[in-house]
Structure 1
Amino acid sequence: MRLETKQKLLESAKELFSKKGYYETKISDIVEKSGVAQGTFYLYFKSKEEIFLQLVKALHEDLLEKLGKYLNTDLDYQTAIKSLVKDFLTEVYLNKEIAEIFFTHLFGLNEDFKKFYIKRISDIQNLLFNILNNYFPEEKSQLLSTIILGFIRQIFFNCLTSKNFDLELMVSKAEKGIDIIFNGVNQEVQI
């Protein structure tokens, strides 16, 4: 029952944050939508910031689980990285409002959000590194994972700032960018 109540609160918060935004959503809105008493909210969360951060953490864990499948795959590295980027952009697309709130309103205001972001970036870079390290020497894998991560972050921010987020177009651009990166790598540039 407790887990169901917490999940209801998280789902209601996600829906309200997505529709109304962070600042316009009140704790009273979340509890009303969840059908629980206001005091019940505080059994699970200390504040609106805390429920938002838990929501973002849950989305991140979900994403890492989905992207983790590319560690042990029969796909070649280029296809695996393209698929990983496509899945990442799809998750951004499905949760654009939450990501937008996180980066445009809260990132600079809260130390916990900054720490979480740094951890998230590190997790994704480690995932990229581990995929690439199956095919390239460690130094090259480290450099490639940094380059690809920078590329993904730029596409991510383009998605957040785009009024008309066209998922297919963003995925297509990302795939072309990955091709350019790996075509350069396949030229055997010495590092």
Structure 2
Amino acid sequence: MGQRGRQKGSIGIKSKETILVIAAEEFAEHGFHQTKVSTIVKRAGLTQPSFYLYFSSKEAIFQELVHIFREKLIHLTKESRLESNLDKSILSSEISRGLYAVLQFFDEHRHLTKIGFFISDESKEIKRAMAMNITENLLAEQQDHYFRQGLDMQIVAECLIGAIERLTITKLFTDEKSPQQLVKEIVDIYLYGLIAK
């Protein structure tokens, strides 16, 4: 491929990325029904025909944003599984690392998170898949004796997702707490509980 072909391809990739970023902002701020393709392309400095080179419809770009969010979140959730035979002294920092990756992703991609985790019809399914992956992680970690036997790890996973969901809205997206601060508090509560020692 010649220099001109590479330039055209990179311009196309840049245009598609620009459309995705602006569409995420529009959908997150105005909802699906109020968002217009004409507004997205105007903000992107493109024409409507150029939008349709990349996406067949408003529904298609919305679904691509949901897909991007889901894939990244599920990847981060799976990656958060603790390795076997960890020294217990680093357990807290390893749990924090996995949780931080999720909250940092949410913080850096607020519009995408609002779409995928809160407003899309698929948000319940995304949370269900996340709960399933976290449950699988926790069961493996329970088998590795990191956590107490007898705990229902599905309930633990659902509680953790509930905490993440609520704290994202009330603390992270309001800039009251950073991802690091939330991780510290969540891990402290889940690992050490509420009762004074």
TM-score when normalising by structure 1? 0.66
Out of 7, 23, 28, which is 2:17 matched to? Answer: 7
Deviations 1:118-167 (A, max 9, x none): 3343334334444x155149x94982354044224223223213444412
Structure 1 residue 58: deviation in Å?
A: 1.2
Partner of 1:50 in structure 2? Answer: 60
Partner secondary structure for residue 62 of structure 1: helix
Out of 75, 93, 98, which is 1:79 matched to? Answer: 93
Write the distance in 2 (CA, Å) between the matches of 1:25 and 1:154.
Answer: 30
Partner of 2:39 in structure 1? Answer: 29
The 1:70/1:124 distance shift into structure 2, 3 A limit, reads closer
Q: Give the greater-gyration-radius structure (CA).
A: 2
TM-score when normalising by structure 2? 0.65
The answer to whether the Cα contact below 8 Å between 1:100 and 1:160 also exists between their aligned partners in 2 is no
Write the distance in 1 (CA, Å) between the matches of 2:69 and 2:87.
Answer: 25
Structure 1 gaps of 5+ residues are 184-191
Out of 138, 157, 171, which is 2:166 matched to? Answer: 157
The answer to whether the Cα contact below 8 Å between 1:82 and 1:175 also exists between their aligned partners in 2 is yes
Structure 1 residue 68: deviation in Å?
A: 4.0
Write the distance in 1 (CA, Å) between the matches of 2:79 and 2:128.
Answer: 22
Structure 2 gaps of 5+ residues are 1-8
Number of aligned residue pairs: give it: 175
Amino acid at match of 2:67: K
Amino acid at match of 1:39: P
Structure 1 residue 174: deviation in Å?
A: 0.5
RMSD of equivalent CA atoms: 3.6
The 1:72/1:82 distance shift into structure 2, 3 A limit, reads closer
Amino acid at match of 1:166: K
Write the distance in 1 (CA, Å) between the matches of 2:170 and 2:54.
Answer: 33
Amino acid at match of 1:170: L
Write the distance in 2 (CA, Å) between the matches of 1:115 and 1:42.
Answer: 28
Residue identity (%): 21
The answer to whether the Cα contact below 8 Å between 1:129 and 1:142 also exists between their aligned partners in 2 is no
Which structure 2 residues correspond to residues 1-191 of structure 1 after superposition, within 5 A?
1=9, 4=13, 5-17=15-27, 20-23=29-32, 24-71=34-81, 73=83, 76=88, 77-102=91-116, 104=118, 106-107=119-120, 110=121, 112-130=122-140, 132=141, 135-136=144-145, 140=149, 143-144=152-153, 146-162=155-171, 163-167=174-178, 168-180=180-192
Partner secondary structure for residue 9 of structure 1: helix
